[in-house]
Structure 1
């Protein structure tokens, strides 16, 4: 059975198109000529036509049935070649043969129903499985991806969609064997590996300071450097501790004998000789050693300090530095301070060699600085190793990230896998059962086709069509077998071919009779018992009113069999533009208002495009008389003018035209003056020439309540013994009527 039809981008259907949903066993679609009915029927006749590429049809449980379409193209396909294809039905079969076939057909229905249940169960389970997967997908995306997107997004490359992320998570859960790292370890590695591709970092040059330490430890700094002791002036110089003062003064002894100290000519050659002997080669050698070591020390320290200052500046400016620059700066500051102190000591020693000094050891600070450089170079080496093996390291870290994630959410993933595997196992079993049921259905269908092939014939169709033609007054032609086996032709009483001389109405009627036989039988022996859907598009064109009722009667017989689920016709879709035909063919029994197996629609063409309105089970096509009652029941109608006019027209139709009641007959049914006046106001407009009196009445009564009008209106039916008609048209059941005895008629709507 068809459940939904979608038509768009063809004929009068725009790109948005229409959807005909919730199709039932019996479906009525009303629409004026040119609103797109034939487009629908042509599509259902041939859904594969390229012009319908944007149209779709959905079948219940995806089980497609044969669609048999009647429209103007049907006549052209079947009555344009001088012969008509035969319709096979169970003709010459014995009672036993037909009974056997019917038993097989009933058995086939049971198998099909069982298969439909299994398919529905399978579809339900598939839907539950899809819901489970969708929920897990959304949960995974929200709880996992969104949580770690900022930190580990690089690890999720290739899985940045909900579906792919879910699949990757499940895949990693079943295959990831990496060792579990902590979140801190992962984030530290991610800083280097994730993000932009890392580059090699140059190692920091090591500093060498062995020579500096050697100079610092030289015993010369502690040595008291004085002149030769066995010289006559030695005792005085040493006693007065004037070594350094005298030594400095020697540089000022002039060529003459003037003393640089007292500026008297006291310097003798002997004194000069004693000074030279006192400050001998040993003394001068020590002075030279001090000077040389001081200069070397200062040069080495200046070089190291400059190098370290440059290193500090560069590393602080380098965002990926591995050096602990804070500590480095502290150590360097201390080193510079120590170097300054040692410089002062060395200057003092140079000026006063006789003093013993002890330099501040810078070894500890240089060792601390060296340790920082060694640690930084170790980190740089690790970094460069990662760069050298970046792809391997990145893949390794990605695996480690997924391992961390699946372990954190192991409970959720395990529960999903358990539930999902349960659905999968059940669905596999159901699919296997369904496949077996389909095989059973196919085998039995072939058996029925073989049985039907032996007892089918086109002759019963000839007999039935001729019977219908005769019974409805078409006596001048009939259907006869063609000379070509398996075909019909239309003949006059004298045997001549009648097709070219038939009227439009005759051709339409016989075409429809042929269609009905085709709907009940088949175009071949094998298709006689096939289930099918009927699509009937305006079958009463060119027919007079008498034949209209004949066609509607024939269709209603089919509708009854569809509703009772007898025969091989499972659904009907009827399209028409004729209001009278629509009302006749959709009439149920006069008592039943709605049918759960029937739905109604109206097609309309607005602004060159077709749209559709659904009325579900309520028939939208009513007579003008019914529409008056419907308007009267509408609670939104509050105008006394409108209500009064509606009631007047109902009274005119029912009592005046059909019941032959006179004005006075109705008015005199009331006993009070007020009720008689209201009744008069309702019916007086019926009589020509009485408007002046009624206008006065209207002015007098226009402020009266609508309830008074309704009470008198109902009482007209009650007092004339037509209360049953009133209740029927107002939709009041007998039970409600009995319960409302004595209640104001203002409440009946």
Structure 2
């Protein structure tokens, strides 16, 4: 069945729209023309249309049922093409075949009812399980999270939502094997471990200076580098210790014979040769060696000092440094000073190779600097070990906190898991049973369809429609099969096709009869026994008052079957703008005021916007008519004019429905002139919709008593053979009993 219909953002429905909720087996929606009834029926017929994108239907147990819609569009779709599709019903079936199909159909209903019952039970269990989980979620959030979060906030990282916290709690309950600690111990540990998080410190690069020390220790620095001793000029140069001076001047000897020392032309070839022999290859190699070693030494020391400078700068800016920066800076400063002295000594050695120099060794300062770096790296490693262990300790603390929590709430968690597992077992078992019922339903439904194919026919539908037409006075046309198998057409008595000559009322009536047959059968053999929902929208348009009662009678038969759960029609939604049709079709009986299987609504359009009012099981249309009788029965009416108007409105409402009593017909039922005048004043609204002032004045001036009015009013019903209606409305039968 349909449980809820939501209509908005279409036709006369705004973005708020209306929601028809609480739909039952029988549903009456009253509304004047243009208030949006057909929009509802068209939406139910084809809710996939884009214009209905903001509308929705909620089905009971989320199971849609085939829905048949009767409205203006139905008449156009079916009657407008000149022929009607055949409606298959059980026709040429034997009593035994029909009994077999009926039995199996009844069995199918039982299977479906059982399946739906199990589905409802499962849904109830799911709802209870969801409620259990929500209640538990709120419980642990309030009693655990709110209590412990200010103290152990870091332990709850990643579980700051109710659902995630609940999930974490249940996970820890099933897997946490940490030893239980006390709350006070955990609180103290949290103060330390949940403080500022330490970070890993990168180690300082160690320094290497073996090459520097190696160069410092070269013997060449102490070696006195001089020329060859067995050359003639050697004795003089060595005696005067002029090795370096002569070597430097040798570079200035020009191509001519001018001496670079005395500027006289004293340079001979023999002298040049002696100079070359004096500064031989050994001498030159030593000179080359000291120059290369000096360059390498300077480069090595310069690179190392730059590296040490970088360490100093980086560690000065690092607040968590483990290096003794002050000592490091002092040692580095000394190292730089020593290197400056060594650079000068090396320059002198290159300039005066015959001089012996002794470099200041940098080993001591470099060892001190290396030791500081080593000590710092030792502390850094210890720190990093602490950091690594800190993460472990923090994780252990978090596990211990959760262990404390789950132990404290062990009873609640255990009960929740037990209850939840119980629900889940039931839900799973019900799903197995539901699947079995679905399989049984499908198999039996196929069997019924196969049986129906062999015994269905469209001829019973033809016969039934023609029977109804004749029984209600439509004698000049009938339904006959077309030459095309499976279709009907409308034919006059003389054999001519009657489609173009039928009145609007005749078309409406015959199409409605066709719809009723379609509701009981199907357009194919397979659909004869399918369950369906009927939506009927203004079925009495263009019909006279006689046919109005015919249609209401036919619909009331359907309503009766739906209430008794007989047949395949499971729900009816009826929409109408006709007050009298609404009263007639929704009338139950003289004693019963309402029905729990029925709900009522009224659609209204104000300022071009449709609204909906629900009356539940109270019929709002009939209530206004009954209210007049209620006022009439009350003992507080003293004004003859008031009671006269009430009686007049009752007569108008009731006898106008019958449509066969004119003004004079009712008046002539009375024998005395006095009674006739009173009757005239009571019924004068029936024909022209207003009352005669002269009649009112005449009756009032005669000062008729209230009892006289009541007697005449009652006699109108008695003399027209409608005493039963009078007694019913006045509750006379109840008083008699």
TM-score (norm: length of structure 2): 0.64
Moved more, 72-81 or 466-475: 466-475
**Shift of residue 606, structure 1, vs aligned partner:** 1.9
> 2:628 touches 2:650 (CA, 8 Å); kept in 1?
no
List per-residue Cα deviations over 1:472-526 (Å, max 9, x = no partner): 3334433222333222233344544433443322221221111111000011101
Q: Which residue of 1 aligns with 2:487?
A: 487
**Shift of residue 404, structure 1, vs aligned partner:** 2.0
Q: Which residue of 1 aligns with 2:580?
A: 580
**Shift of residue 713, structure 1, vs aligned partner:** 9.0
Matches within 5 A, 1:181-260: 181-194=181-194, 197-198=197-198
Distance in 1, Cα, partners of 2:542 & 2:138: 61
**Shift of residue 88, structure 1, vs aligned partner:** 0.7
User: Matched residue of 1:618: which SS?
Assistant: coil
**Shift of residue 14, structure 1, vs aligned partner:** 2.2
**Shift of residue 561, structure 1, vs aligned partner:** 1.3
Cα distance change of structure 1 residues 724 and 536 upon mapping to structure 2, 3 Å threshold: closer
Cα distance change of structure 1 residues 477 and 687 upon mapping to structure 2, 3 Å threshold: closer
Q: Which residue of 1 aligns with 2:552?
A: 552
> 2:3 touches 2:22 (CA, 8 Å); kept in 1?
yes
Distance in 2, Cα, partners of 1:394 & 1:644: 95
Q: Which residue of 2 aligns with 1:648?
A: 644
Distance in 2, Cα, partners of 1:711 & 1:494: 60
Distance in 1, Cα, partners of 2:38 & 2:195: 62
Distance in 2, Cα, partners of 1:500 & 1:665: 51
Q: Which residue of 2 aligns with 1:180?
A: 180
List per-residue Cα deviations over 1:409-455 (Å, max 9, x = no partner): 11110111111111111222222122212211221111111111100
Cα distance change of structure 1 residues 174 and 80 upon mapping to structure 2, 3 Å threshold: same
Q: Which residue of 1 aligns with 2:522?
A: 522
Q: Which residue of 1 aligns with 2:697?
A: 689
List per-residue Cα deviations over 1:216-235 (Å, max 9, x = no partner): xxxxxxxxxxxxxxxxxxxx
Aligned length: 533
Q: Which residue of 1 aligns with 2:205?
A: none
List per-residue Cα deviations over 1:311-361 (Å, max 9, x = no partner): xxxxxxxx99xxxxxxxxxxxxxxxxxxxxxxxxxxxxxxxxxxxxxxxxx
> 1:192 touches 1:198 (CA, 8 Å); kept in 2?
no
**Shift of residue 74, structure 1, vs aligned partner:** 1.1
**Shift of residue 732, structure 1, vs aligned partner:** 7.7
User: Matched residue of 2:543: which SS?
Assistant: coil
> 1:599 touches 1:615 (CA, 8 Å); kept in 2?
yes
> 1:714 touches 1:726 (CA, 8 Å); kept in 2?
no
Distance in 1, Cα, partners of 2:714 & 2:464: 50
Distance in 2, Cα, partners of 1:384 & 1:16: 64
User: Matched residue of 1:415: which SS?
Assistant: helix
> 2:90 touches 2:456 (CA, 8 Å); kept in 1?
yes
Q: Which residue of 2 aligns with 1:323?
A: none
> 2:647 touches 2:713 (CA, 8 Å); kept in 1?
no
Distance in 2, Cα, partners of 1:400 & 1:652: 88
User: Matched residue of 1:186: which SS?
Assistant: helix
Distance in 2, Cα, partners of 1:84 & 1:51: 29
Distance in 2, Cα, partners of 1:384 & 1:86: 89
Cα distance change of structure 1 residues 88 and 725 upon mapping to structure 2, 3 Å threshold: closer
Moved more, 178-187 or 107-116: 178-187
List per-residue Cα deviations over 1:525-555 (Å, max 9, x = no partner): 0110111110000111122222222211211
Q: Which residue of 2 aligns with 1:411?
A: 411
Q: Which residue of 2 aligns with 1:36?
A: 36
**Shift of residue 181, structure 1, vs aligned partner:** 3.1
Distance in 1, Cα, partners of 2:394 & 2:68: 64
Cα distance change of structure 1 residues 471 and 157 upon mapping to structure 2, 3 Å threshold: same
Distance in 1, Cα, partners of 2:133 & 2:106: 40
Q: Which residue of 1 aligns with 2:628?
A: 628
Q: Which residue of 2 aligns with 1:609?
A: 609
Q: Which residue of 2 aligns with 1:162?
A: 162
**Shift of residue 394, structure 1, vs aligned partner:** 4.5
> 1:9 touches 1:15 (CA, 8 Å); kept in 2?
yes
Matches within 5 A, 1:451-600: 451-600=451-600
**Shift of residue 626, structure 1, vs aligned partner:** 3.6
User: Matched residue of 2:64: which SS?
Assistant: coil
Distance in 1, Cα, partners of 2:548 & 2:81: 27
Moved more, 12-21 or 548-557: 12-21
Distance in 1, Cα, partners of 2:89 & 2:460: 7
Distance in 2, Cα, partners of 1:159 & 1:125: 28
Q: Which residue of 1 aligns with 2:433?
A: 433
Distance in 1, Cα, partners of 2:37 & 2:145: 52
Distance in 1, Cα, partners of 2:381 & 2:184: 21
**Shift of residue 124, structure 1, vs aligned partner:** 2.2
1:450 matched to 2:446: no
TM-score (norm: length of structure 1): 0.63
Q: Which residue of 2 aligns with 1:324?
A: none
List per-residue Cα deviations over 1:615-652 (Å, max 9, x = no partner): 222221139754423456799xx9x78x7644232455
Q: Which residue of 2 aligns with 1:107?
A: 107
Distance in 2, Cα, partners of 1:599 & 1:687: 42
Distance in 2, Cα, partners of 1:455 & 1:6: 41
Distance in 2, Cα, partners of 1:195 & 1:17: 57
**Shift of residue 456, structure 1, vs aligned partner:** 0.5
**Shift of residue 32, structure 1, vs aligned partner:** 0.6
Cα distance change of structure 1 residues 573 and 646 upon mapping to structure 2, 3 Å threshold: farther
Q: Which residue of 2 aligns with 1:171?
A: 171
Cα distance change of structure 1 residues 98 and 724 upon mapping to structure 2, 3 Å threshold: closer
Distance in 2, Cα, partners of 1:718 & 1:585: 26
Cα distance change of structure 1 residues 724 and 476 upon mapping to structure 2, 3 Å threshold: closer
> 1:628 touches 1:646 (CA, 8 Å); kept in 2?
no
Q: Which residue of 1 aligns with 2:56?
A: 56
> 1:625 touches 1:650 (CA, 8 Å); kept in 2?
no
> 2:641 touches 2:700 (CA, 8 Å); kept in 1?
no
**Shift of residue 379, structure 1, vs aligned partner:** 13
Moved more, 494-503 or 160-169: 494-503
Q: Which residue of 2 aligns with 1:705?
A: none
Distance in 2, Cα, partners of 1:721 & 1:511: 36
Distance in 1, Cα, partners of 2:726 & 2:492: 53
Matches within 5 A, 1:269-288: none
> 2:531 touches 2:569 (CA, 8 Å); kept in 1?
yes
User: Matched residue of 2:69: which SS?
Assistant: strand
Distance in 2, Cα, partners of 1:537 & 1:665: 44
Moved more, 402-411 or 385-394: 385-394
Q: Which residue of 2 aligns with 1:303?
A: none
Q: Which residue of 2 aligns with 1:150?
A: 150
**Shift of residue 580, structure 1, vs aligned partner:** 1.5
Distance in 1, Cα, partners of 2:196 & 2:611: 57
Distance in 2, Cα, partners of 1:199 & 1:605: 72
